[in-house]
Amino acid sequence: MSAIGCRSECSIGRSTVRLDSETAGHRRRPRWDATMNVFEYAKELQRAYFHTLGEQLLGTVVLFGLLAVAGEAIRRAGRPLKRRYSSRLTEATQAGAVALLTVGVVLALAVVWHVTGFVEYLVKSASVTRFEAARVLITIAVLVIAYLLIRLINRSIDRLSEEYDAITDHQSEVAYHVADVGVSVFAFMGLLVIWGIDPGQLFVGAGVLGAVLGYAARDTLGAITAGFVLLFSRPFRVGDWIEVDGHEGVVRDVTIVNTKIRTFDDEHVLIPNNEVTSNPLINRSENDRYRVDIEMSVDYDTDLDRAMAVATESMEDHDDRIREVPSPRTVLKRFADSGIVLELRFWVDKPSARRVWASKTGVIQSVKTAFDREGITIPFPQRTLNARAESGFDVTDRGAPERTDSGTRARGSTTATDGGEN
């Protein structure tokens, strides 16, 4: 056998490893054979390299250096990806890449330090066949594809809504939920088929259990049903100012289960959708205008026509938040204890809580200033007391004792004398 190009074969377990040496005296370089598994190839790497402590330390430093360089590359790659895709998707992808890289480095360190036998023992203890491992990998792939598909559909919906203005925000919400539910259902059915579960038998067997759970969770199911009703009937949209079941605020989100509103105290309230559909709903943003009523009193001696004209003119000249059509007006409301009540009516364009409050504050200030300038009095609570003149006759109880200067003497009594009887 020549020193150059010699070939030798050695049998290890059930596999055959072919070792080539190009020159005599050099270490044999392991070659991958189709009949080998990963652990057998790792043993060949250990026989060829990493015999001394120095080689093991050098291999460890190289692996950690590769880990640091790859980690930095993954981190820098996240910046352009975040500009194109969502932050959550980018961060999830980065986390998965770092996890795979870490696992690879750990396995490589096991080869360097000759501890692959322990890893092989753990793998064999798990008793996972190739078919089961393939099903696990396919399951992970299906879940990842379903997630990416949902993100892709949602991104396309956002583009249609924002860039092309083809659909409304409410239609976008409906499309989001329909896409999420549809893709999730198809992915679930696919996983059942992969794991050899008949969907028909599963649904039949779950019929009784579903009836029991449906009765126990009837409120939740009712909220889900009402959620689809809200999504398709569209009584309000995200950003509308609504009032339902004593809660008033701006709609922040509409899900299948509940509706989230932000109150004017900056509190977030979750209202179940079945309560939204079963209670009276007020949508103050529906007509793009909202009427504000303010009551003010004037003195009984005031010229009412003049007071109404001054108040109306003050509202018309206030600001651009008040609509010209319908025009502001002032009406007589009622008689009060201290004056006559006027009601100032004006309409706010594109109503929101902030615009309504600002308009109301401005109108009150403007009307008060105009009344002071015109000498129109806004009365404060007051009462007028009138003394009534005395008249009529006195009533005296003749049976009552009469008080005199010398004492009290009963009216109609007999006075006895000191002389006794005659």
**Distance in angstroms (rounded) separating the CA atoms of residues 19 and 10:** 8
CA distances from 247 to 2, 12, 85, 252, 268 (A): 93, 76, 37, 14, 10
CB 197 within 8 A of CB 189: no
Q: Which domain range does residue 150 map to?
A: 141-216
Between 36 and 248, where is the model more confident?
248
pLDDT on residue 343:
92
Looking at the domain assignment, is residue 152 inside a domain?
yes
Report pLDDT digits (tens) over 25-61: 445 555 555 445 566 666 677 767 777 888 888 888 8
Is there a single domain that holds both residue 111 and residue 23?
Answer: yes
Residue 353: which CATH number?
A: 3.30.70.100
Is there a single domain that holds both residue 255 and residue 328?
Answer: no
For the cut 50, the answer to whether the pLDDT of residue 155 exceeds it is yes
Looking at the domain assignment, is residue 341 inside a domain?
yes
Is there a single domain that holds both residue 272 and residue 353?
Answer: no
Looking at the domain assignment, is residue 86 inside a domain?
yes
Between 109 and 217, where is the model more confident?
109
Is there a single domain that holds both residue 96 and residue 13?
Answer: yes
CA distances from 384 to 104, 337, 349, 377, 387 (A): 95, 11, 44, 17, 10
Among residues 380, 376, 350, 344, the alpha carbon closest in space to that of 362 is found at: 344
Is there a single domain that holds both residue 11 and residue 121?
Answer: yes
Is there a single domain that holds both residue 211 and residue 228?
Answer: no
Q: What global pTM score does this model have?
A: 0.47
Looking at the domain assignment, is residue 54 inside a domain?
yes
CA distances from 57 to 17, 54, 68 (A): 27, 5, 17
CA distances from 363 to 312, 314, 371, 375 (A): 10, 7, 12, 18
As given in the structure block, the two tokens for residue 199 are: 């969907």
CB 310 within 8 A of CB 371: yes
**Taking all residues of the chain, what is their mean pLDDT, rounded to a whole number?**
75
pLDDT on residue 165:
66
Q: Side chain identity at 384, as an amino acid letter?
A: T
Between the CA atoms of 413, 416, 417 and 422, what dihedral angle is there, to the nearest 10 degrees? 120
Q: What does the radius of gyration of the chain's CA atoms come to, in whole angstroms?
A: 46
H-run or E-run covering 340: strand 340-349
CB 263 within 8 A of CB 241: no
Looking at the domain assignment, is residue 133 inside a domain?
no
Is there a single domain that holds both residue 242 and residue 337?
Answer: no
CB 283 within 8 A of CB 236: yes
Q: How far apart are the first and last CA of the chain?
A: 187
**Distance in angstroms (rounded) separating the CA atoms of residues 389 and 176:** 83
Lowest pLDDT segment from 170-179, 184-193, 213-222, 348-357 = 213-222
Residues 6+ apart with CB under 8 A from 268: 252, 260, 261, 262
Is there a single domain that holds both residue 244 and residue 348?
Answer: no
Is there a single domain that holds both residue 325 and residue 342?
Answer: yes
CB 275 within 8 A of CB 269: no
Residue 255: which CATH number?
A: 2.30.30.60
> In the listed set 333, 351, 374, which residue is the last one of a domain according to the structure?
374
> In the listed set 230, 262, 283, which residue is the last one of a domain according to the structure?
283
For the cut 60, the answer to whether the pLDDT of residue 14 exceeds it is no
Counted domains in the chain = 4
Among residues 369, 366, 370, 261, the alpha carbon closest in space to that of 321 is found at: 366
Looking at the domain assignment, is residue 420 inside a domain?
no
Backbone region of residue 192 per phi and psi (left: phi > 0; alpha: psi in -120 to 50; beta: other values): alpha
Is there a single domain that holds both residue 109 and residue 151?
Answer: no
Looking at the domain assignment, is residue 210 inside a domain?
yes
Using N-to-C axis directions, what is the helix angle for 169-194 and 218-233, rounded to 10°? 130
CB 408 within 8 A of CB 395: no
Across 68-132, where does the E strand assignment appear? none
* Residue 160 buriedness (CB in 10 A; 0-12 / 13-18 / 19+): middle
Looking at the domain assignment, is residue 404 inside a domain?
no
Is there a single domain that holds both residue 100 and residue 146?
Answer: no
For the cut 80, the answer to whether the pLDDT of residue 295 exceeds it is yes
Is there a single domain that holds both residue 55 and residue 105?
Answer: yes
Provide the pLDDT confidence category of residue 237 given band limits of 50, 70 and 90. confident
